[in-house]
Structure 1
């Protein structure tokens, strides 16, 4: 008897789970993506029904020829059809003549795409808009350009290499590698405006080097973790050296090791996990 009750409940759950759907309403024959996954194209009326397994919040993106990709978020609470209207913005094509590729293209902080060569084009909104061009390690370029629907606009840009800018932050500035599972290590956050070779040296109060690391850094944020292994408690000087072919930059910060603050995080975590495991075992035994 219990078996049939469980089977009935499972069938009911599965039946309800597939009773949700989103009906996308937009222009005809456009590609539709749900949470980044292609789910089909709209019909001649501009509609597409997307079956769902459950309620929740979903990202819906439409894409197609001569339109700017549009994304909306839809929250589904109840079973049945949930209608979502996705507006369409007509577009023209942009071809880029540049001294450096690839080129990332943005329109008022909206990412339009990346071109790898002059053969590629991206769609830009119809009308006069501000376009930003970016390439790794170079100064961004902004231009005001006009686009007509289903027409191509060309632009010639020249990138100039960006100066090397570096920043170093250490978080936490004081850490305690005492095995209590709380702040047992620290992280070096390194910002680079462009690619550079990196070198980190850590010195104690007497100038003795206690840690050394070398690597290649990329534009943006780079991270390095240090666990202070075999290093006594104390405050240490961290020196970062960033180098390119013609530039060199040094940043300095300080980090402290203090093992005296033991938090018992490990013991508490193990106790909680053990209690949850025991409770689950009891549930399995009785049900």
Structure 2
């Protein structure tokens, strides 16, 4: 018996055999052969929108509510009840494609809404220190890596990226990001000089009125450092002491001054980054003499609002 195959059948068999012979093949590429079935807008009901995403089998959310999944060609028909503006958000299983929320208008005449995507590639980081955070020049955080060989996803093309590590000078590099591929970068961070500042409230009053009841102590450090903080009373006796570890940036410590007499107190901070040691001194005044009644005002306001709400509910019944 002779078997006769048409040219179309031969092409289909060739594609089928080829797909089994390859280790990796994209489902999107397979369905790309041939003509894409057309959707006729004239056959759709009024207020219909064809959401086109170019990604198959992706979840579509309209105004935050799940609306359905795109077909094998990345399309989903959504019908609305009236004209108006809406948002669409698409979530795909392809980690190299992301979508931002997109605004569109529904009209009585059916229309196509193309939702643009952002294609991504991988930036693989190798650095002399960690952690390393990767930002765009607009300030968007792409991710943070903790060790050699970890990756962050970045948009395609020549991207100017900023690499940061606490206590070290930022680095800026232009990286050519390719779709679904790795682009390695090598970083050599240099430490910034160790700088230390101490800012303490001029005065505080731990008298329970909910106004400046604690002394706010802020330590500003250019690098991670370790050391201690001391608070001395007017006679020079240490009334508070604690070992501290700070990161690059701002560290806040609150002291309530409970059980201590009114007077002028001295705050001392001594820190070392392992290379240099810095000390800063500031003073604060503990004064309980002024009572603001802030606590009573806040509590009274809350009670008044609760009574008003209760009255409104009762009167509407």
1:85 Cα deviation from its structure 2 partner: 7.4
Report what 1:179 is aligned to. Answer: 208
The correspondence for 2:122, drawn from 65, 83, 93, is 93
Report what 1:210 is aligned to. Answer: 239
**Greater C-alpha radius of gyration:** 2
Q: Work out the CA distance in 1 between the residues paired with 2:251 and 2:196.
A: 11
Q: Which string of whole-angstrom CA distances, capped at 9 and with x for unpartnered residues, describes residues 120-164 of structure 1?
A: 322222222211122333332211222233443222222233433
Secondary structure of residue in 2 paired with 1:91: strand
RMSD: 3.9
1:225 Cα deviation from its structure 2 partner: 0.8
Q: Is the 8 A contact 1:27 1:42 kept in 2?
A: no
Report what 2:172 is aligned to. Answer: 142
Secondary structure of residue in 2 paired with 1:270: helix
Pairing 1:154–2:184 present: yes
* Number of aligned positions between the proteins: 248
Q: Work out the CA distance in 1 between the residues paired with 2:115 and 2:195.
A: 41
Change (3 A) 1:128 1:257: same
1:27 Cα deviation from its structure 2 partner: 4.4
Deviates more, 1:258-267 or 1:37-46: 37-46
Pairing 1:190–2:211 present: no
Q: Work out the CA distance in 2 between the residues paired with 1:125 and 1:215.
A: 40
Report what 1:246 is aligned to. Answer: 275
Q: Work out the CA distance in 2 between the residues paired with 1:24 and 1:256.
A: 65
1:32 Cα deviation from its structure 2 partner: 7.5
Pairing 1:271–2:300 present: yes
Q: Which runs of 5+ in 2 are unaligned?
A: 1-49, 79-86, 104-111
The correspondence for 1:111, drawn from 119, 138, 141, is 141
- Structure having the higher strand fraction is 1
Q: Give the TM-score of the pair, scaled to structure 1.
A: 0.69
Q: Work out the CA distance in 2 between the residues paired with 1:33 and 1:253.
A: 55
Q: Is the 8 A contact 2:53 2:75 kept in 1?
A: yes
The correspondence for 1:164, drawn from 181, 194, 205, is 194
Change (3 A) 1:168 1:85: farther
Q: Is the 8 A contact 2:102 2:115 kept in 1?
A: no
Change (3 A) 1:198 1:154: same
Report what 1:130 is aligned to. Answer: 160
Secondary structure of residue in 2 paired with 1:159: coil
Secondary structure of residue in 1 paired with 2:220: strand
